[in-house]
Homo-oligomer: A and B are copies of this chain.
Amino acid sequence: MKKQKTVMRHVRLAGMGKALAGGELCFAGEKRYRLRAGETFSDLMYQASCRALAAAGMEIEDMDCIVCATATPVQAIPCNAALLHERLAKGLDIPAFDVNSTCTSFVTALDVLSCMTEMGRYRRVLIVSGDMASAALNPAQRESYELFSDGAAACVLTAAAEEDCGILYSRQKTWSEGAHDTEIRGGGSALPVFSMEKGNRPDYYFDMKGSRILKLCARKLPDFLNLCLREAGVRREDIDLVVPHQASRALDVMMPRLGFPKGTYVNRVSCYGNLISASIPYALCETAEEGRLQRGHLVLLIGTAAGLTCNFMLLRY
């Protein structure tokens, strides 16, 4: 295995914002949130963005770049960031593009944009995540139908002057033996929208094989995490807060296997389930608002996603 060069990036999560859909459902005592009539997913991305900018004390005019780190599109064309630009920045010429590694898109985008920021290519970036899960949930698959909420979260990432603030380490891996454990087979070139008929309708729904994903994660993640901690020179006890992707209730099975007992990591699955690409930034924003996440804390982000892709990122908040 190639050794990963540790690359410090002096960046700051200057402000975060979040938005949850307004419609409430309840499954086995747990609430889930889905878009209500008259509400659009673009509204959520817009709200989360405005809140992140306000929290950072900035205006959209201050941004050098708008990035949507999302798993699914608002329209098939153009990219989500161009459509968000239309709501947020019409008349301005801020560049806009999308980054997609499904549920871990936000962590990938932090990885990518922090490098661009460190290089001076951009100085202030708005990163927005979120998906409308309810657009493709299959009522016949209870495991996934009852798991997801529609939500968005945003973050203003800026170049930081402080030496002790930023991304200390990041590493991503994809194991494509899991490529079909979490998928929507239809809607792209493999099975275009116009090929939908009565018999293949389920192929256009989200399809999750929960126990297969869990097994693959259990096989791959512990070694990968140990490698990352070793390369970063960080021990588990140095970490102030662990924010994993809010994948499912199985979080309480997986996290102890990674050496993080209950209470050391954020688990909000019972509150709003899985928010797809918004899961991690939503939880980050929430813990910051609650005061659990504080400036100077060492945070470990653990992104897991369809692919199967996993990101580990060490962040001095």
Contact = CB atoms under 8 A, between A and B. Distances in A.
A202 B145 CA distance: 30
A77 interface: yes
A188 B112 contact: no
Nearest to A117: B115
Contacts of A99: 97-100
B82 A179 contact: yes
Contact of A193 (B119, B174, B196): B196
A253 interface: no
B176 A86 contact: yes
A96 B136 CA distance: 24
A133 B85 CA distance: 25
A79 interface: yes
Interface residues of A, number: 82
Given A76-B72, A173-B95, A193 B188 contact: no
Given A82-B174, A111-B121, A132 B189 contact: yes
A199 interface: no
A146 interface: no
B89 A176 contact: yes
B173 A93 contact: yes
Contacts of A182: 77-78
B75 A183 contact: yes
B188 A75 contact: yes
A35 to B, nearest CB: 8
Interface centre among A76, A82, A190, A309 (most CB of B within 10 A): A76
Given A85-B174, A99-B99, A176-B85, A77 B192 contact: no
Interface centre among A97, A186, A193 (most CB of B within 10 A): A97
A298 to B, nearest CB: 20
A83 interface: yes
A191 interface: yes
A25 interface: no
Contact of A189 (B93, B135, B220): B135
Contact of A93 (B66, B174, B305): B174
Interface in A4-35: 5, 7, 9
A209 to B, nearest CB: 13
A75 B187 contact: yes
Given A76-B188, A93-B174, A115-B121, 13 more contacts: A72-B188, A76-B136, A77-B184, A77-B206, A78-B305, A82-B174, A94-B173, A96-B101, A98-B99, A132-B192, A135-B188, A135-B192, A136-B193
Closest 6 A/B residue pairs (Cβ): A132-B189, A76-B184, A78-B306, A73-B188, A76-B187, A95-B172
16 contacts: A74-B189, A75-B183, A76-B184, A77-B182, A78-B307, A82-B307, A83-B179, A93-B173, A93-B174, A95-B309, A97-B99, A97-B172, A97-B309, A99-B99, A121-B170, A196-B196
